[in-house]
Structure 1
Amino acid sequence: MASPPGFSLACSLPTGRPVSTEERSAWELKAARRALQNLKTLIDEQTMLKLLDTQIEAGDHYFKQLIQESHGQFKESRVDFHAKGLTSTQFLAWFGALAAHDGTTHGRRSLYLDLMAPAHPEHYALGPYFIGNVETIGRHMCRIQMDIEAEVPDFVKAYGDPAYPIKLANTGLLDDGTAFLYGFQELRDVDDGCDFRTRILFPAASPQILFDEHTEHLAIEFGHWIVAASESPKI
């Protein structure tokens, strides 16, 4: 319901200090993150996947259609970061320590709760794969298997900038093994820290909102990881 014309709202503490709309929104975001983390901790992976099963199936159909319509063409969604006071070595050591797991239920659960769940509200589960994630992409549920071993196509490597010596590439697969996306991240150390180029390549026929919203996703996700790495003991 829309507020009536001329409506305004002021908020203040007993001390008289005013509370801005931005501050109230920040409080709400903090509470929402805490509530989501609590729910994700309480709901085990199998229960979560069962809840999402119908949406995952519909998303799978949708993404296969986009792949077919794209005729092998892909476009990037990208966000760049400059992190002052953090090196690429420190970031990769932090990330690698949390991402490593032994394949056990406990190891996978720790990976999800410690690394994936806090990074973005729409990280729902790891899924049935050793490396993978269930998340919202383009307003559709997607269960992705991440392949970090396979060589990515040359058109993915063509996005690379020689000024970034560290390059990390992977392929995102749908349940039937169809390549749906490619991740291609680049890092370089600079005098006061590290530069990041974070990108995902999606089928070119995807609607613009998919690219726009995944740019937002990358900004939230990698921004959280970079900040968390900066706050951890330096390696």
Structure 2
Amino acid sequence: MTDTQTSPPVTVTLKSGPTGAGSIDDFELFYARRALDRFRTRLGRQGLLDLLAADIEEGNAFLRESARASDGNFKAGTTVLAAQGLTSGEFLAWMDGAFAGDDERVLLAAHPEHYAMGTDAIGARVVENIGPHVCSFYMGGWGTDAMAWAADAAELLPESEFPRKMSSNLFLEDGTVVGRALIQFGDTPDGFTANLTVYFPVTCPDEVLDHHLRHYAVEFRNWIIAAAAAQA
């Protein structure tokens, strides 16, 4: 008779030593963020873009082919976050200042897979992971009535509850629309709710969409925390 019993998972518990609060996972996250910030700073913006040039070419080719095969059809997913201790107006004012400022570090720090965020001759450029792919894309409109889709989006929430809304196309340097974003904010008695919807071509694997919903959760959580710290 074959023994099919599996071994219990190995666990490690911190009993004593460090005087600061936190778990081993917290310590590791702190050191990972510190190391990442060091590499970003040493390489600089152009150094990072040069390092990732081949990855970006491959990632953009994936998005371009997905858009071509999907013929303008998109699928959506939404991450919902609840924040306490900060209003949506305070958060969005901080976001406006962060994106308008010269310090890219605060934007990059929100996610390990942020590589560049800023404005160039085409518009607001973002270099980050879309699923496993490193991609370089722009946010904003493209062409006449480019944002008309947002008014008819199934994910659009009532204006009375979510009065602060922003919509955007995601497009490549050659103008190919490879996605969309619709983010909506509504205040609550102790903070606000953020509904963060992303749209990708329907031929994109579902895991690409799911990973971006996780991406949203990480980056917006960290931006909200940074905005609250700036209020203190």
1:118 to 109, 130, 135: 109
Root-mean-square deviation over aligned CA pairs: 2.5
Q: 1:95, 1:231 → 2: CA distance?
A: 13
2:217 to 216, 219, 234: 219
SS of structure 1 residue aligned to 2:198: strand
Q: Structure 2 matches for 1:87-98, cutoff 5 A? A: 87-98=87-98
- For 1:119, the aligned partner's letter is A
Partner residue in 1 for 2:49: 49
1:208 to 196, 206, 209: 206
SS of structure 2 residue aligned to 1:220: helix
Match status 1:169 vs 2:167: yes
Q: 1:14, 1:212 → 2: CA distance?
A: 38
TM-score (norm 1): 0.84
Change (3 A) 1:131 1:143: same
How far residue 201 of structure 1 moved from its aligned partner, in angstroms, is: 0.8
How far residue 37 of structure 1 moved from its aligned partner, in angstroms, is: 1.1
Change (3 A) 1:95 1:50: same
Partner residue in 1 for 2:73: 73
How far residue 70 of structure 1 moved from its aligned partner, in angstroms, is: 1.2
Change (3 A) 1:137 1:45: same
Confirm or deny: 8 A CA contact 1:134 1:144 kept in the other structure.
yes
Q: 1:25, 1:124 → 2: CA distance?
A: 24
Q: Structure 2 matches for 1:152-167, cutoff 5 A? A: 152-154=147-149, 157-158=152-153, 159-162=155-158, 163-167=161-165
Change (3 A) 1:178 1:86: same
Confirm or deny: 8 A CA contact 1:173 1:179 kept in the other structure.
yes
SS of structure 2 residue aligned to 1:44: helix
How far residue 164 of structure 1 moved from its aligned partner, in angstroms, is: 1.3
Partner residue in 1 for 2:195: 197
Change (3 A) 1:28 1:185: same
Confirm or deny: 8 A CA contact 1:78 1:218 kept in the other structure.
no
Moved over 6 A (4+): none
- Give unpaired runs (5+ residues) of structure 1: 102-106
Q: Structure 2 matches for 1:139-154, cutoff 5 A? A: 139-147=132-140, 151-154=146-149
Confirm or deny: 8 A CA contact 1:127 1:143 kept in the other structure.
no
Confirm or deny: 8 A CA contact 2:80 2:196 kept in the other structure.
yes
SS of structure 2 residue aligned to 1:183: strand
Confirm or deny: 8 A CA contact 2:169 2:179 kept in the other structure.
yes
- For 1:200, the aligned partner's letter is V
Provide Cα deviations, 1:49-97, integer angstroms capped at 9, x if missing partner: 1111111111111111111221211111321111122111111111111
- For 1:160, the aligned partner's letter is L
- Give unpaired runs (5+ residues) of structure 2: 1-5
Report the number of matched residues.
218
2:15 to 1, 12, 26: 12
Change (3 A) 1:14 1:231: closer
How far residue 206 of structure 1 moved from its aligned partner, in angstroms, is: 0.6
Confirm or deny: 8 A CA contact 2:184 2:196 kept in the other structure.
yes
Confirm or deny: 8 A CA contact 1:135 1:141 kept in the other structure.
yes
TM-score (norm 2): 0.85
Give aligned-pair identity as a percent: 31
Partner residue in 1 for 2:124: 131
- For 2:136, the aligned partner's letter is R
Larger mean Cα displacement after TM superposition, 173-182 or 5-14 = 5-14
